[in-house]
Amino acid sequence: MPAVLQQLFGAIVVGWRKAVMEHADHHPLTETEQAIASPQNEHEWEKTYGCTLIAALRTPTFWLAFQVGDGKCVALQADGTPFEPIPWDDRCFLNKTTSICDTDALSCFRCCYGGIDTAPVAIFLGSDGIDDSFGEEENLYNFYIQLAKGFSKDGHEATVSDLERTLPILSLRGSQDDMSVAGIYDARCLNLMPQLLKWQVNRIESKITAVSAKIAQIWHIIVKGLFNTTDREMAYIDLSRLVKEKNELKRRQNIIINS
């Protein structure tokens, strides 16, 4: 990691710890909070302020994204392909996460950076409440792709307003956790509707193709009479499930195309 980034991250940790101590001096813990936290030394005060961090920066000459703890950074390449530029930390698992309050916080920073010619056209940052609401990585990517399409199609204010309305619903149906979303996008380059749509449709079509192959395989065996009575009944159950799955995929495909 370049020395300048080490200096930046060190300054963030020092500044955060200073702010924590100042806040603790002016806002003593209540009796209830003391019963839970009960800090015994200076560093344990920081533990009561446990904090993760995820941020991104874009300048005329370079871009940078960095993170401590959980949450996800999802970016869009110039061709509309989504990816996660910041390396993942395997120490962030289930309800465990690294934090700025850790004694080795400086070693917990992960980052990515590059010249402006390599900058993604959009970078989205989401707290763990966002990615915990989506079971598959693809679903999380689709969430941010829809957000990018909103900025491109409906404009900034309308998309932000829609996001504010939908996040509480997403939390209620998903992680039931607090949710934060931030992002940077290049409005001049975000006219990616065809590319974004192509990525989404291709992913759906590949799933439809895979399900259709399973349906054909099971139906072939049924027609050939290669099942006994019990296996035949199970085959029809599987066939019915796969047909419903295919129909659902086609429904989602139509929504994506028309969105």
Position 228 pLDDT exceeds 70:
no
102 or 56, higher pLDDT: 56
Angle at 54 between CA 28 and CA 168, to 5 degrees: 80
Domain containing 146 equals 50-191
H helix intervals, the chain: 3-26, 31-37, 42-47, 128-131, 137-153, 156-173, 193-224, 229-258
pLDDT of residue 112: 96
61 contact partners, CB below 8 Å, separation of at least 6? 115, 116
pLDDT of residue 184: 92
Does one domain contain both 212 and 117?
no
Does one domain contain both 61 and 148?
yes
Among residues 162, 191, 220, the one where a domain terminates is: 191
Q: Summarize pLDDT for 182-219 with one digit per residue, the tens.
A: 999 887 776 666 777 778 888 888 889 998 998 888 88
Distance CA(81)–CA(100), nearest Å, equals: 31
pLDDT of residue 158: 94
Q: From 121, 223, 227, 129, select the one nearest 169 (Cα to Cα).
A: 129
Residue 67 sits at φ, ψ, to 5 deg, of -160, 145
Q: If you ran DSSP here, which 8-state letter would residue 93 be given?
A: B
* Predicted TM-score of the model (pTM): 0.77
C-alpha distances (whole Å) from 237 to each of 233, 240, 247 are 6, 5, 16
Reported as a pLDDT band with limits 50, 70 and 90, residue 11 is very high
Does one domain contain both 176 and 254?
no
148 contact partners, CB below 8 Å, separation of at least 6? 76, 122, 124, 185, 190, 192, 196
Evaluate whether residue 29 is within a structural domain.
no
Q: Give the DSSP letter string of 101-141.
A: TSTTGGGG-EEEEEEGGG--SEEEEE-HHHHTT-SSHHHHH
Does one domain contain both 137 and 254?
no
- The mean pLDDT value for 223-250 works out to 80
Number of domains in the chain: 2
Determine contact, residues 149/259, Cβ cutoff 8 Å. Answer: yes
- The mean pLDDT value for 135-149 works out to 87
Most confident of 37-41, 43-47, 57-61, 196-200: 57-61
Evaluate whether residue 42 is within a structural domain.
no
Among residues 143, 162, 191, the one where a domain terminates is: 191
pLDDT of residue 257: 75
Q: Summarize pLDDT for 102-121 with one digit per residue, the tens.
A: 888 999 999 999 999 999 98
- The mean pLDDT value for 123-150 works out to 89
